[in-house]
Structures are given as C-alpha cells and as structure tokens.
Amino acid sequence: MAGKKNSSLDRVLGRLDTLDSVNLANLVQRLARERGLFEEIFNTLQEGVLVITLDGEIDYANDAAHRLIGIGEDELAGQILWRLVPGLRPSLGAALEDDTAAALPVVAREFELTYPEHRTVRLYMVPFRGEGRGDARRFAVILTDVTRDKQTTAQQLEDERTSSILLLAAGVAHELGNPLNSLTIHLQLMERKLKKLKASKEAESLAESVSVCRAEVARLDGIISNFLDAIRPRPPDLAELDLAEVLTEVLKFQQREFSDRRIAVEADALADLPPVMADRNQLKQVFFNINKNAMDAMQPGGRLKIRARADDESVYLLFGDSGSGIKQEDLVRLFQPYHTTKPDGHGLGLMIVQRIMREHGGQVGIESKEGVGTVVTLQFPRKDRRVRMLGR
C-alpha cells in the first residue's frame, strides 16, 4: 500500500510543472497532512528520535528527544550533537571522513547526560542517504533513557553482594563461637585446679588472670551473639512495649562506657509515652547502635540529649549528640552497607537500624551539621494507630 502511494506521489511530483493551481493546492495539503501524521507518530514515541547531518547538526528532533537532551524547539537551529555528547564524534573515527556510504558506521553506545537532569542514555545511530543522487549523508539517531534500568540492576547487584557478605560474616561469627566455647571449658578446668592448690600469692595471681580471661571470653561471646542476632533477617516478634523502659535498660547497660568517655546523657520527656508494638531485643540493638555512634562521634566532655514526643500517628525518639557532625558527601551514603567513616568501623550499624525500623513500620531520619552535631530521629507507629490501620 505504502509502495503504491509513494509511486503515485512520485508520478505527481514528476509532472509538478504541469499542475494547475487547484491541483497544486491539493498536493500541498496532502503533503502537509502526511507530514502532520508522521509528526504525531514520532511524538508519541518514548524514545528520542533525531536526524543529524554528517557534521552532527540536528535537522529534526521529536518531543522525547527535546526532553532527554534539554533542547527547546526554538533552540534547535544550529545545535550540534557532537557538542551535546562529548566523545561521540571522535569515537566514530575516520569513517565519517570516508565518502563511501558503505563505510558509515552503525553506532550503539551508552553515555551520561547531566542536563537537564542526570540520566543514562542508550544511543543507536544508523546512517542513511536520501533517494536523490545529490542528497547528503545523514544519520537517524534513537535515544533511549535507561537510567531506571541501570539503577535497578545496580541495586540487584548490591543486594546480592550484601547478602553474600552477610552470609559469610555470619558463618565466620558462628565458627568463632567454637574456639570460644573451648576456651571457656579449659578456663573452668584451670579454676578448679587452682582452688585445690594451697593458698599462695602465685595461685591468687593465676586465679585473677583466669577470671579476667573468662570475663573477656564472655564479652566476645556476647559481641558475636549480638552480631548474629542483628544480621539474621528474621521478622520482629511484636509485643506491646514502653519505649522509655527499653531505652532506660540500654542506657544502664552502656552507662559505664559513657562514664569512661566522660559523656553526659540527658534523657527528658520519656514519661507517659504511648505504647508501641515492637520486638524488645531488636529495639535494644537499634538503641545500642545509635548510642554507640553518638559516643564515637564525640570527644570527652560531650553531651547526648534524648528527647521524646508523640502525635496522633507516631511516637518519636530524638538522639542529639554534640559530635563532629557528618560531611554532606557521607550523609547521603550512611545507610549503604560497609560505608563507614570510622577507622575500625564495619559499616553495618545504620543499615541494621534502618532494616529493623522498616520491619517495625517505622522510619529513621538523620540531620547533621559539621562541627555542630547530629540528630537521629526514630519514628514508631503508635500501637492504637497500628490497630486502626489493620482494622480498615
């Protein structure tokens, strides 16, 4: 059909000089309708379509191309694609200098655009020459926005990497438990033998050393247990909890470390908070990690202020430290696994906090200013609000 239509149009154009004014007007209207139809078709495409000359000058761009590369229709004239996509012209090499149509390359590549916004774009460029013998060589260029596809792929790879490393870390932690158990047993045997020996300064000294070793082994065993509890992706065991009670328990546990570092803790407005549904042990891990981060960020003489508030929907706990603050470039990466600014950090703490809060239906937010300090906000859904939501 299209071939017959083109042939008939060619015949009409071949005797253009013989047409009267009426037939000429009809021909112009027909050409305008066909041009309008093709314009509508091209402008419905999600992909950007360009036609460029051998020098890279843009002859035509559809609506999607205008959006992708940030060129308004009134700005199209004189635009050169090589300037908009640096490095594209050199990559085509000497083929563009060759006069033979067969030597023109078909190009497929990806590049990044920073204007009007950051995007990853896939470009497919095909050479063509018009039907007329004197027509210059040109290229049809197809632009596809693959930003979301790239981000999804990158996220999948990161998730797989995180899962693999966490699985490896859990295996290592589990294996460490075996020699610790062995050490505990042998230390117990040593204690029993020391008790049978006659009292002497040497025996007392050895007993004290064994006691210190047992305490350190117990501490290491506790660290491994907490680590395994933190990284195991298990759903929370929800029960009605008083946030203030759980937080007070954690602060008592960490009191000695706060005291050793000469850091003052102020916990206000914790009384009479609405109850929440939460997993007690997982919340302890959240509070422990946030307090530990605050301690590590502060010098001796620092201050950690903990405040609480509630509204009709949520209960909030705010942890404000007087530490060094967080750089802007680090702030956007805080929840990424293995990203840490501490020399001895593992980069899992905040990732674990975020995961636990999400599984509780809550959120974690961080505000920070260099040289001033950081505020971490934990938002929990109220128990009565959670019941209303489930009852809908």
d(CA 223, CA 241): 25
Pairing mode of beta strands 264-267, 303-310: parallel
Q: Which of 278-306 are b and which e, b meaning 16 or more Cβ less than 10 Å from the residue's Cβ?
A: bbeebbbbbbbbbbebbbbbbeeebebbb
**43-64 pLDDT, tens per residue?**
888 888 989 888 888 888 898 8
CA 300 to chain centre: 34
Look at residue 277 and tell me whether its pLDDT is greater than 90.
yes
pLDDT per residue as tens digits for the range 335-376 = 555 445 554 444 456 777 888 888 888 888 887 777 888 888
pTM value?
0.45
By residue count, the chain amounts to 392
The pLDDT tens digits for 284-324 are 889 988 998 888 888 889 999 999 988 888 899 999 898 88
Rounded Cα distance, 48 and 111, in Å: 14
Domains for the chain: give ranges and CATH numbers.
Answer: 18-108+123-145 (3.30.450.20), 151-231 (1.10.287), 239-391 (3.30.565.10)
| Residues contacting 46, CB < 8 A, separation 6+ | 64, 144, 145
Return the bridge partners of 373, or none.
Answer: 369
**Among 22-31, 47-56, 146-155, 174-183, which is the least confidently predicted range?**
146-155
pLDDT tens for residues 218-237? 777 766 766 665 556 578 88
Strands 48-53 and 314-321: unpaired
pLDDT digits (tens, 9 = 90+) for 61-87: 898 888 888 877 777 767 888 887 766
The C-alpha atoms of residue 221 and residue 200 are separated, in whole angstroms, by 31
